[in-house]
A and B are shown apart, each in its own frame.
Chain A
């Protein structure tokens, strides 16, 4: 599948705005991910072509920056903070409940493709510890506990 026109235009705009191809590389990966959830091999090559850099150079960035996903992710990405402030407020119980309910570990996606669980510190939500950030807008939720995890997954916050 070829690169959608709006993504091509967005990448060209990023090149204009950020001073050329190289400074726009990471932004290009972000733009693709924003539209499609992750960055596939095809999209990586296509973006490299638009930028005029090699796919390997783009991959070099994609593999360094942890929030660029090179594998498909679920509809909702859950970033769970595993930092100290969250741990001090019961973060382990939240982690255990999430893993139990979803049946997955960190870095995995549920079989139905609904959720991906990722550990991430610090989320900048220590006043809401234990905290998680969910979905496209990385909405901060907390303080969580096991019951709060249930409520979150059942859509009754």
Chain B
């Protein structure tokens, strides 16, 4: 279990534990321990553990938490909030679904400890509408914890209080962007906010708010249970802990793998039964739809936030999409861009109008109706609207990363598409 602290207690069929069953395997011991410590001490341990947020950006969790003001130190009245982001929708990502469905009490524990460290007294768990089993399981876990005095007022007689609620969402990928998520919780269209102010200054209902991913929160109890040194030692790199990797696409046994942070793509693909299709790797995206393409030469880099960024990609959600030689990266890109175009909130013109344009060109390339000048449009868009480009949030910038890397790595393949459509589908390449 210590090698897979996050998923080690899960059951194969994903049946969640009742509270009693969870406590029988050590559940809520971390809560009891953490609530006896001052918030700063809890934060310090997570800081020492080098826990990076698992939602995509990889921002250090403790650093985010440090921006949360102490009670009475923020202007105005009202509570501080913790928001758990369970709006998993990134192409290729299916890890949070597992944690929500199979290990809801672990999430509740993590939320209690995180809320304590960040002075939050109300926690929301936003879960996407399609994850109905997850919604039901987390709701049940919260009700059980409430009934046992593990949530609510004066938890375990420590004076710490936390109200926790599940809020089901209703579609739209952009809800997963943290400021859009806050807008959504307030009952508005999920359009991202300008930053600053950051959520820790002015978040949900204008109050200090921390937004963390499901996997990040689920790791927190283990840091309190076993200590920051142990947590760091789980990893092969500077970034602490294990990672719930996912592998999908052209592999024989797609699935989730909890492994040390810094595990290589080669190992993950091997553990997923190897490359399917013709058995020979063409390329892979290490962290979901918005991560840049990598190839054979990068199979042995340790997959974490730092190493993926240095390799010109992004670790993102750590959910890998694998392509063999008979799979076309331009086809994969076309599906991704259609998705991002559909999910744009529509606020910024480059995203609202640019993504459908990109998607149409990719479709035309597949069909064999694209012109050479279309490739110039793709190059221009990738260059002008890439990360930290000209839009309010990172949706378009993220969408441009796989496009930019595909143009750089597979230029010949783009050209080959100009002559009658996808050459891989037609069996020419």
A residues sitting closer than 8 Å to B (CB atoms) are: 17-19, 21-27, 29-30, 60-61, 64-68, 79, 82-85, 87-89, 120-127, 129, 133, 136-138
Contact = CB atoms under 8 A, between A and B. Distances in A.
B187 A125 contact: no
A64 B130 contact: no
Contacts of A129: 248-249, 254
B131 interface: yes
B89 A122 contact: yes
A41 to B, nearest CB: 18
> What size tier do the contact residues of chain B reach?
35 or more
B338 A82 contact: yes
B341 to A, nearest CB: 11
Given A23-B185, A64-B190, A122-B93, A84 B129 contact: no
A23 B94 contact: no
B301 to A, nearest CB: 22
Given A18-B165, A65-B171, A87-B335, A126 B246 contact: yes
Contacts of A84: 91-92, 249, 289, 321, 332, 335-336
Contacts of A124: 88-89, 93-94, 96-97, 128, 130-131
A117 B250 CA distance: 26
A122 B255 contact: no
A44 B67 CA distance: 40
B168 A30 contact: yes
Residue from the set B169, B171, B246 with the largest chain A CB neighbour count within 10 Å: B171
Contact of A87 (B97, B165, B332): B332
Contacts of A87: 331-332, 335
A29 B129 CA distance: 12
B327 interface: yes
B369 interface: no
A55 B248 CA distance: 43
Given A61-B187, A88-B249, A137-B132, A127 B335 contact: no
A126 B319 contact: yes
B165 A126 contact: no
A97 to B, nearest CB: 18
17 contacts: A18-B167, A19-B205, A21-B187, A22-B187, A65-B170, A83-B91, A83-B92, A84-B249, A84-B321, A85-B248, A88-B248, A89-B250, A122-B91, A126-B94, A126-B254, A129-B254, A138-B132
Interface of B: 88-94, 96-97, 128-133, 165, 167-172, 184-190, 205, 246, 248-250, 254-256, 289, 319, 321, 323, 327, 331-332, 335-336, 338-339, 345
Contacts of B169: 26, 65, 67
A64 B189 contact: yes
A26 B246 contact: no
A30 B170 contact: yes
Given A19-B205, A84-B321, 18 more contacts: A23-B186, A23-B187, A61-B187, A61-B189, A67-B169, A67-B171, A84-B249, A84-B336, A121-B339, A124-B93, A124-B96, A126-B93, A126-B94, A126-B254, A126-B321, A127-B254, A133-B130, A138-B132
Contacts of A29: 170
A38 to B, nearest CB: 13
A126 B248 contact: yes
A57 B54 CA distance: 34
Given A24-B187, A61-B187, A88 B97 contact: no
A29 B170 CA distance: 9
A122 B345 CA distance: 17
Contacts of B255: 127
Contacts of A30: 129, 168, 170
A104 B280 CA distance: 37
B172 A65 contact: yes
B343 to A, nearest CB: 9
A83 B335 contact: yes
Contact of A138 (B88, B130, B165, B172): B130
Contacts of A79: 130
Contact of A83 (B171, B188, B339): B339
Contacts of A127: 94, 246, 248, 254-256
A82 B91 CA distance: 10
A86 to B, nearest CB: 8
A123 B130 contact: yes
Contacts of A88: 248-250, 321, 323, 327, 332
A128 B339 CA distance: 19
